[in-house]
Amino acid sequence: MSEVAGPPGTSKEALAGKKVYSLSEAKDHTTEEDCWVVIFGKVYDVTKFLDEHPGGYDIILTNTGQDATESFEEIGHSNAARELLDKYYIGEYEGGPAPAEKPKKKQTVSAPSAVDRIPVLKLLQVLLPIIVAGLAYMIFFGGATGK
């Protein structure tokens, strides 16, 4: 029985399931003749794309052998560029997807309240209970002694 070959570019492993590559495997493909990139938790063989890359081949070469997601995102690549990636997909990256953007620092200092901003209000906050207590005292004892 003869073996049925898959479509071009699909290895047996790829047909059986997704191939998972480690960073050290990706690091073996960092030359102009054999260039892989790791972007969005996936591995792409972009050797044939190097010469076509509008940003130049050298910038891709400097981003091989590492997770290039951040560099790829920083450029602000178009959707067309993202879709182009599919063409060069060879497998999944063992390390999973990297966060495209560093999480922005949350603002921990909350805005001061009106009481903190206006000193008179702060003073009133202290004085008001004293005034109310004083008035209550005067009404109670004043009323008691008046009659």
When the beta carbons of 76 and 143 are compared against ligand HEM, the nearer one is 76
CA–CA gap between residue 55 and residue 74 (Å, rounded) = 13
Smallest distance, ligand HEM to C-beta of residue 57, A: 10
When the beta carbons of 75 and 123 are compared against ligand HEM, the nearer one is 75
Q: Which residues bind to ligand HEM, rule: CB under 6 A?
A: 37, 44, 46, 49, 53-55, 59-60, 63, 68, 71-72, 75, 77-78, 80-81, 84-85
Smallest distance, ligand HEM to C-beta of residue 87, A: 8
When the beta carbons of 3 and 83 are compared against ligand HEM, the nearer one is 83
Smallest distance, ligand HEM to C-beta of residue 30, A: 12
When the beta carbons of 28 and 116 are compared against ligand HEM, the nearer one is 28
Residue 115's identity, in one-letter code, is V
Using CB atoms within 10 Å of the CB of residue 145, give its burial: 0 to 12 exposed, 13 to 18 middle, 19+ buried: exposed
The answer to whether the CB of 42 falls within 8 A of the CB of 91 is yes
**Count of CB atoms within 10 A of residue 29's CB?**
19
Using CB atoms within 10 Å of the CB of residue 113, give its burial: 0 to 12 exposed, 13 to 18 middle, 19+ buried: exposed
The answer to whether the CB of 35 falls within 8 A of the CB of 60 is yes
Smallest distance, ligand HEM to C-beta of residue 94, A: 18
When the beta carbons of 55 and 134 are compared against ligand HEM, the nearer one is 55
Smallest distance, ligand HEM to C-beta of residue 79, A: 8
Residue nearest to ligand HEM (CB): 55
The answer to whether the CB of 94 falls within 8 A of the CB of 23 is yes
